Amino acid sequence: MDHRAFKTEINEQFARIAKAIANPHRLEIVDLLAQGERSVEELAKESALSVANASQHLQALREAHLVTTRKEGLRVYYRLADPTVYQLVQLIREIAERQLAELERIVNTYLLERKSMEPVTLNELLTRLREPGLVILDVRPTLEYAQGHIAGARSIPIDELQQRLHELPQDQEIVAYCRGAYCVFADEAVELLAARGYQARRMQQGYPDWKLADLPTETE
């Protein structure tokens, strides 16, 4: 056996995955698909890309077998090929948090209010999941909630929260969550709720992290 040829060829295959994911738009697309399947048009809108550009990024992910598709009429829907694809993104983030000081600077620049918010960890929320005095609030879009959410969570999308505050009890603690650690929906929700006199905290991570940890979920 030619060991050098073997090592080169096997590492070329590993590099295919790294190359496919090594783009900020593709990382965002994987983050969106971790919430549930989407059409090209929906992904383009959420990621502020043209449909043609989104399609190119999706094709690169598909060629590396990181996403799969299904067709419904004229629309093509994409989903992650395997939960470990999101796990790869998690790992990239963890390494960046440990090794890149620039990441901390960016977070401190854009998420100024987060420093004053005491986060709720996955384990803490799990132990309090059925606590009667706790409201778990999903502030992602309604479609994402329907495709999967934390068991017992209530849905009020962030862009509807101000108009629907009357639906939330003021005498109970509220834990808001959204798409992930760097999604700002939960931060905005906690800031709004606190300003209106509610006791509110944000979950440290997001729904995909909860699901990947095999914790209780529901769908509609």
Residue 158, pLDDT score = 98
> Rounded to a whole number, what is the largest CA-CA distance in the chain?
71
Average the pLDDT over each of 20-24, 37-41, 105-109, 126-130 and give the range with the smallest value: 105-109
| 183 counts as catalytic | no
Rounded to 5 degrees, φ, ψ at 13 are -70, -40
Q: Is the pLDDT of residue 70 over 90?
A: yes
Q: Is the pLDDT of residue 113 over 90?
A: no
Distances (CA, A) of 82 to 71, 133, 177: 18, 36, 23
Q: Which residue has the higher pLDDT, 115 or 27?
A: 27
| Distance between CA atoms of residues 31 and 209, nearest Å | 11
| Distance between CA atoms of residues 193 and 181, nearest Å | 19
Domains of the chain by residue range: 3-85, 111-218
Q: Which residue has the higher pLDDT, 113 or 122?
A: 122
Tell me 160's DSSP state: G
Domain 3-85, CATH: 1.10.10.10
pTM summary value: 0.90
Q: Is the pLDDT of residue 112 over 80?
A: no
- Other CB atoms within 10 Å distance of the CB of residue 96: 12
Residue 155, pLDDT score = 98
Neighbouring residues of 44: CB distance < 8 A, sequence distance ≥ 6: 50, 51, 53, 54
Q: In this predicted model, what pLDDT tens digit does every residue of 149-187 receive, in sequence order?
A: 999 999 999 999 999 999 999 999 999 999 999 999 999
The catalytic position among 54, 122, 178, 183 is: 178
Q: In this predicted model, what pLDDT tens digit does every residue of 126-144 receive, in sequence order?
A: 999 999 999 999 999 999 9
Residue 1, pLDDT score = 66
Above pLDDT 70, what percent of the chain? 100
Mean pLDDT of 39-51: 96
Superfamily of domain 111-218: Rhodanese-like domain (3.40.250.10)
